[in-house]
Amino acid sequence: MPDQIPMVEYLVLGDEPHLEANECTACGARFFDRRNACASCSGREFTKVPIPTEGEVRAFTIVSPFIPGTDPYVPAVVDCGGTSVRANIVNTPPDPEHVTLGMKVKLTTFSIGADTTGTEAINYGFEPID
Amino acid sequence: MANDDIWILGINMTKFGKHPTLDSVDLAAEATLAALEDGGVTMKDMGVIAAGNLMGAAAGIGQQLQKQVGQTGIPVYNVANACATGATAIRTVIMAIKSGETDMGLAVGVEKLSGAGMLGAGFGAGKSDEWTRTGRYGAVTGLEGKLGTDMMPGVFAQVGMEYGHKYGGTSFELFARISEKNHKNSTLNPLAAIQKDMTVEQIMNEPMIAYPNTRAMCSANSDGAAAAVIVSGERLRTLSLEQQKRAVKISASVLTTDPWEEACQILPNVNTLTRNAATQAYEQAGVGPEDLDLVELHDCFATAELVHYDNLMLCPEGGAVDFFESGAPFRDGATPVNVSGGLESKGHPIAATGIANIWEIAHHLRGEAGDRQIEGAKVGLAHVIGLGSACGVHILEKSGL
């Protein structure tokens, strides 16, 4: 198996891939990016917390291809147990018959390709729970 | 008129659309000279300029403008605040007057956007030989299309879908009907970039940009400028009766940003800061949503118009769909919204938009709006929002003279 790296730092790979947020130890606000301080309370201490891997689609859109030869994609906001996550909905046709508000989804990971050293970058998305 | 009241003395917008032979300075100068003439004053009367040109924010549009219309040595504030840039320019002049530094100033916004395509995300750097982390998410590649979207059509599509998830009642067709209303309104506005009556079917059959927004449901990238001369009540009283009669009172001027809430860094929350701005504006002006004779709100996409009915409290919370279905936001309804045609047809030259919507309201309050005049209009509200985010709300009132 080739070496892998997560496409973004807050994606944790391994046997049970999941997302990890920076949680403010003072107020509990959660963030996925590198922090200088908390946007909610200006606190400066954070702890890493795992985010549930199942959730519900709270908003989505279907972006039409604007680069010829590429596919539509489905950006969405997924509510994972009270923490909102940004991702694409994957592994289902990109149309409003197959992607619906309130749909239950789960995290999935997939390769977006390898660099010259053979290291694969791994992205995440959410797919429908049957 | 009280000494500390703030008034619009002169105001103008250029035709929005394609101006291939005019540059940004030409358009800004055209709007400025017309606004000065409208107010019966000259550059020598101005004590301050606030100017915006978002796409050329580093170039100093205010000073470039002065070099064409009058270098009088007064302070220039070049402002940039996304789609709220024009409102920010207006507000900057108001603050200068309220601070007592001057009693009259010019706000101007201009943009050249024809053919600019979709605004928002870049696609990140091209793939390097080895995955390398960059940015605040430590991403090894551009995120657009891989983890959601930062493109405006997709962002605002999700904003409308989120409202539908929360309150129900939305559909592709509902959003298309909002767009139909605005396109119909544009046929009465000779300054609109696109004056084309479109049926719901035509709108729904336009190319899909980001579901549920088709091309006709997206704001039209266009060229244009708008400018306003703003004056203190004390100075206005020294001017002619005719100038005083045509002056339009700025009863409220508010600028807000988005307070932190869960999810606001996942999908921009355009709701809370708009609601906060509206709440402050109604309080400042001493009027309520029921007093408004017309509203120009930021319909950068059809999906956005729906949520702002609610955010501006034109309807009870969660009642935006019912508000639309009641006919209230139509020209002949209780609270006409976007009688100019809105950004979807009037056009959206970004930095001009926040002044052009005030021009539209002022035009009606003065009784000068011609075929699209809302009869007897006395109070109106102008709203803009720029992602990032910044929200400007102005409430305007007809002169009592």
Q: Please provide the DSSP assignment of B92-148 as one string.
A: HHHHHHHTTS-SEEEEEEEE--TT----S----SPP-SS---BTTTTBSS--TTTS-
Q: Do B147 and A84 touch (CB under 8 A)?
A: no
Tell me, yes or no, if B295 comes closer than 8 A to chain A by beta carbon: no
For residue B285, is it within any domain? yes
Instruction: Tell me if residue B83 is catalytic.
Output: yes
The 10s digit of each residue's pLDDT in A103-117 is 999 999 999 999 999
CA-based nearest distance B150→chain A, Å: 9
Cβ of B22: how many Cβ atoms within 10 Å? 18
CA distances, B257 to each of B90, B141, B154, B220, B273 (Å): 16, 30, 21, 25, 6
Cβ pair B29, B67 in contact under 8 A:
no
- ∠B293-B312-B296 over CA atoms, to 5°? 50
Q: Which pair of structure tokens corresponds to residue B275?
A: 């609601």
> What is the mean pLDDT of the segment spanning A58-79?
92
Q: Sheet harboring B49-52: ordered strands across?
A: B76-79, B49-52, B104-111, B224-232, B6-13, B248-257, B390-398, B379-386, B294-296
Considering only the beta carbons, identify the residue of A61, A70, A86 that sits closest to B161. Answer: A61
SS3 A68: coil
Give a yes or no: residue B155 inside a domain.
no
Task: Give Cα separations from B335 to A13, B164, B188, B315, B349 (angstroms).
Answer: 53, 22, 18, 10, 25
Q: Give the bridge partners for B106, in sequence order.
A: B49, B229
The contacts of residue B385 (CB under 8 Å, 6+ apart) are: B83, B84, B270, B273, B274, B298, B300, B304, B308, B391, B392
Per-domain residue ranges of chain A: 4-128
A67 pLDDT band (50/70/90 cuts)? confident
Kindly indicate whether the ipTM for this predicted assembly is greater than 0.85, answering yes or no. yes
Report the domain count for chain B: 1
Can you tell me the distance from the alpha carbon of B270 to that of B391, in angstroms, rounded to the nearest whole number? 8
B residues 171-200 closer than 8 Å to A (CB): 172
Query: Given an 8 Å threshold on Cβ–Cβ distance, is A29 in contact with B164?
Result: no
Query: Does B152 fall in a domain?
Result: no
Which residue in the set A39, A61, A115 is minimally distant from B154, CB to CB? A61
- pTM flag (> 0.90): yes
> Binning pLDDT at 50, 70 and 90, where does residue A65 land?
confident
pLDDT value at residue B127 = 55
Of B147, B210, B263, the CB nearest to A61: B210
- Residue B303 is assigned to a structural domain of this protein: yes
With contacts defined as CB-CB under 8 Å, which chain A residues touch B118? 66
B211 touches chain A (CB under 8 A): yes
pLDDT at residue B227, rounded to an integer: 98
Secondary structure, 3-state, B174-208: HHHHHHHHHHHHHCCCCCCCCCCCCCHHHHHHCCE
Please give the structure tokens belonging to residue B92.
């900057």
Q: Which residue range is the domain that position B245 belongs to?
A: 6-115+220-398
Is B300 among the catalytic positions? no
Annotated active-site residue in B19, B348, B383, B394: B348
Distance from CA of B81 to the nearest CA of A (A): 20
Is the pLDDT at A29 greater than 60, yes or no? yes
List chain B residues with CB under 8 Å of A59: 158-159, 161-162, 165, 267
B256 has which bridge partners?
B391
pLDDT (mean) for A76-103: 97
- Domain assignment present for residue B254? The answer is yes
Nearest chain B CA: its distance from A92 CA (Å): 15
Query: What is the C-alpha to C-alpha distance for residues A21 and A23, in angstroms, rounded to an integer?
Result: 6
What is the residue-level pLDDT of chain B in tens, covering all 401 positions? 787 899 999 999 999 999 999 999 999 999 999 999 999 999 999 999 999 999 998 999 999 999 999 999 999 999 999 999 999 999 999 999 999 999 999 999 999 998 777 676 555 545 568 999 999 999 999 999 999 999 999 999 999 999 999 999 999 999 999 999 999 999 999 999 999 999 999 999 999 999 999 999 999 899 999 999 999 999 999 999 999 999 999 999 999 999 999 999 999 999 999 999 999 999 999 999 999 999 999 999 999 999 999 999 999 999 999 999 999 999 999 999 999 999 999 999 999 999 999 999 999 999 999 999 999 999 999 999 999 999 999 999 999 88
Mean pLDDT of chain B: 96
The predicted pLDDT at position B121 comes to 56
Of A30, A61, A124, the CB nearest to B158: A61
In chain B, residues with a C-beta closer than 8 Å to the C-beta of A88 are 145-148
The CATH number for B343's domain is: 3.40.47.10
pLDDT score for B115: 76
Distance CA B220, CA A30 (A): 36
Residue in chain A closest to B134 (alpha carbons) equals A8
Q: Are B355 and B13 contacting, i.e. CB atoms less than 8 angstroms apart?
A: yes
For residue A19, CA distances in Å to A7, A123, B191 come to 12, 11, 50
Question: Which residue reads 């070049």 in tokens?
Answer: B78
Mean pLDDT estimate for chain A: 95
Tokens (6 digits) for A28: 């509990």
Min Cα–Cα distance to chain B from A45, Å: 17
For chains A and B, count residue pairs whose Cβ atoms are closer than 8 Å: 129
The pLDDT value recorded for residue B129 is: 83
Interchain contact B169–A (C-beta under 8 A) = no
Cβ–Cβ below 8 Å for B265 and A102: no
Residues of chain B contacting residue A96, judged by C-beta atoms under 8 Å apart? 172, 211-212
Residue B105 and residue A80: Cα distance in Å, rounded? 51
The contacts of residue B21 (CB under 8 Å, 6+ apart) are: none
User: What length is written for chain B?
Assistant: 401
